[in-house]
Amino acid sequence: MPFIATNPATEEVVAEFDGHTPAEVDHALEHAAAAFQQWKLTPMKDRAQLMLRAAELLEGEIPIVAELMTSEMGKTFNSAKGEAAKCAATMRYYAEHAESMLADEIVATKGSLSGYRFDPIGAVLAVMPWNFPLWQFIRVAAPTVMAGNVMVLKHASNVPGCAKYIEDLFMRAGFPKGIVTTLFIGHDQIATIIADPRIAAVTLTGSDRAGRSVAELAGRNLKKAVLELGGSDPFIIAGSADMDVTVPLAVTARVQNNGQACIASKRYIVVKERADEFISKFVAAMSVVPTGDPMDPSTVLGPVVSKVQLDELTSQVTDAVAKGAVVHTGGAPLKGKGYYFPATVLTNVPADSRAGCEELFGPVAVVQVVDDLHGAIEFANATPWGLGGAIYATDQAEIDAAIAGLDVGMVFANSIVASMPELPFGGTKESGFGRELGEFGLREFTNIKSYYVA
C-alpha cells in the first residue's frame, strides 16, 4: 500500500512512499536484531557521541524539517521549529545524563556486594501518531537507544516524509544500520511484528482503542508495553486565579498544535465566583486567534490534519449544540481550501453529548462552571482518562489540593501541561500505563537485574 501525505492547508499531495514488502520487513528486523547484539556492548560514551552528533545535525536542519512537518500534518511553522529544537535538546539531555541515571544501584545486604543494574532488552517497536511527527518518537528513542536498545518505527501513514527523515538522521549521524529503522507498514501488520521473537517490547502513542489492541497483543506474546493514550485534560480556574496569567495560557492550552495534542487542555472548569469574568475574557481572546496559512509566522492556529478529522470535530460540536450547548465563538468549519476549524468555546455542554464525553481533537474548548475547588477536582476526575491536568491559582493551598486530588499522571500549576526530558510523562486510567522521559522513561525498556555476592 502507498503511504501518502496530504497538506491539510492546501489539500495537495506532498509525498508518497511505497509500503515495505514482507521480505523487506523481515530483512529489517534481522538487521535490528543483529545491531542490538553489538549496540548493547557499545560503551556509553560512544553512544553519547553519536546521539550528540544526531542532535547537532537536527539543529542545523530545523527550518527544513519544520517545513516538512508543516506540509505533512499542518502544524504552524513556528511550532514545528520549536518541536525540532525540543527533540535536539532532549537528545543532548540523554547523551549527557543517561550514564549516571543507569548506574548500578548498590544495596546493603548480608552479602559483600549486592544491588541491581539496568540492562537493555532488545528491539523496541514504536507505533507512533502524526500530531508530533518528530517529538513523539524522539522522546522515546533518545532514552531507549541510550539505554542500549534499538528502535523499530511504525509511524502514522500520513507523515511518511517525517518517518523517513528520522531514520536518515540517525544513519547520517553515524549510528550503525539497524539502530533506528523505519517501516512503512499497515496496522494489519503490527500483530505479526509484535509476535516476532526479534521484538522485545512495544510502545504506542495513540487512541485508547489502539492501546487496547496493542496491550492485548503484547500480553499474548509476553512483551513489555508502554501506552500513552488519549486525554481530556482539565484546566481548573480556582478562586485565586490571576486572570492576566490564566486567560492567555487558557488559549494556548487549547489551540497549541492546532488543538491536536493529547495533553492539550480540553475541559475548562471554573469556580462560579470567577466564571463570568473568565468566560468573557476567554471568549474574547479565542475569537481573535490568528488563523490561516501555517507557514505564515503570524499564524497561531492552522488546519486540523485531515478531512476525516474535520468532519469528526464538526460532528461532535453539532451534536452538543443539538442537545443544548451554547456556542460563544466559532462552532463550524471555515469555508474555502484546507481543513480549518476556528477556535471555539462551548458552555452548557450536556454530559451525554459527544463533546461532553469524548476527547475533542481540535481547537474546541468546553467550559464547565462548578461551585468550588472541591467540585472542580471532583468534576475533573469524572472521566475515564487521566493523562494531565492544570490548575490556575495564586493560593498555595488551592495548588496543593489539586496536585494531591487530581487523578492524573501529571499536574501543572499556572502553566500548561507539557513534556520535558527531566520529568516522567504518562497517565493513569484509560490514558495508558508506563512512563516516557525522566529517569523512569530511561529505565522502562531495561531488565532491572539484581545481583548478590556472598
Q: Which residues participate in catalysis according to the annotation?
A: 228, 262
Spell out the SS3 assignment of 361-411: CCCEEEEEEECCHHHHHHHHHCCCEECEEEEECCCHHHHHHHHHHCCCCEE
* Residue 113, C-beta contacts closer than 8 angstroms, at least 6 positions apart: 106, 451, 452, 453
Helix axes 160-172, 135-146, angle to 10 degrees: 30
Cell 508502554 sits at which residue? Answer: 226
Distance in angstroms (rounded) separating the CA atoms of residues 87 and 235: 26
Q: Which long-range contacts (CB under 8 A, 24 or more apart) does 331-336 make?
A: 334/291
Give the Cα separation of 313 and 359 in Å (integer).
10
Report how far residue 18's alpha carbon sits from residue 3's, in angstroms, rounded to the nearest whole number. 6
